[in-house]
Structure 1
Amino acid sequence: MESAGVHETVHSSIMRCDIDIRKDLFANIVMSGGTTMYPGIADRMQKEITALAPSTIKIKIIAPPERKYSVWIGGSILASLSTFQTMWITKEEYDESGPGIVHRKCF
């Protein structure tokens, strides 16, 4: 069984977005997570996305040095926001309402 590569999935996701924001999305591809720490992965992503995207589009891959932990950092920031606290679901709420509580409180 063959799956699409990360570059193909990124390209496909951007192409499914509104045409007015695609240019900005291609110019702001952020790599995050431990598997993005492989040597040369940002350069390869740049090359692969450039080959798939329209030639007039500027591609920019952002690979911050702390990207191994950026998902955790983002979650930590989100959890510390006062507006996010209203979306927290206690175990009791979940036990009482089931999975539907997520849609009622978060969307």
Structure 2
Amino acid sequence: TASQSSSLEKSYELPDGQVITIGNERFRAPEALFQPSVLGLESGGIHVTTFNSIMKCDVDVRKDLYGNIVMSGGTTMYPGISDRMQKEITALAPSSMKVKIIAPPERKYSVWIGGSILASLSTFQQMWISKQEYDESGPSIVHRKCF
């Protein structure tokens, strides 16, 4: 109905001052994180990838991993994503496992902050690649210096 449709719509002002209205696209876009098939991709969603990653770990650490799933990055800022992740992982995990999703309010920047901390470590400096090195060697410099 028209009243339902308008409640789904939200207006945004772009940097140039133009105002756009977005409807159910607000929900379809994040759904692709859980169902990549809506974009024509043949892969599991973030919940399946998380589950598979945990299951590939030693059985002795799985309980801790299920209890400490940390959401990070700007893509995790969608409203309700933590609850959805909780529901989906709980459905996949063994019933005896307690699943806990941690979604820090500053998670939008946590990926950058983590990379920044890693890059500042003295042990990581030997892996730094200058623009000049990259321009001279191309992508192969990454394998040479980092692996």
**TM-score, with structure 2 as normaliser:** 0.64
1:2-23 residue CA offsets vs partner (Å, 9 max, x unmatched): 5422111211121122223222
- What is the rounded CA distance, in whole Å, between the counterparts of 1:78 and 1:6 in structure 2? 24
Aligned partner of residue 96 in structure 2, secondary structure? coil
The alignment of Structure 1 onto Structure 2 pairs a total of residues equal to: 107
Identify which of 83, 87, 91 aligns with 1:43.
83
Which segments of 5 or more consecutive residues in structure 2 lack a partner in the other structure? 1-39
- Tell me: higher relative CO, structure 1 or 2? Use CA pairs within 8 A at least 6 residues apart: 1
Please report how far the alpha carbon of residue 67 of structure 1 lies from its aligned counterpart in structure 2 after TM superposition. Answer: 0.5
Identify which of 73, 88, 92 aligns with 2:128.
88
Map 1:11-90 → 2, pairs under 5 A: 11-90=51-130
**TM-score, with structure 1 as normaliser:** 0.85
Alpha-carbon RMSD across the aligned residues, in angstroms, is: 1.8
Percent sequence identity is 81
Aligned partner of residue 104 in structure 2, secondary structure? coil
- What is the rounded CA distance, in whole Å, between the counterparts of 2:132 and 2:81 in structure 1? 43
Aligned partner of residue 58 in structure 1, secondary structure? coil
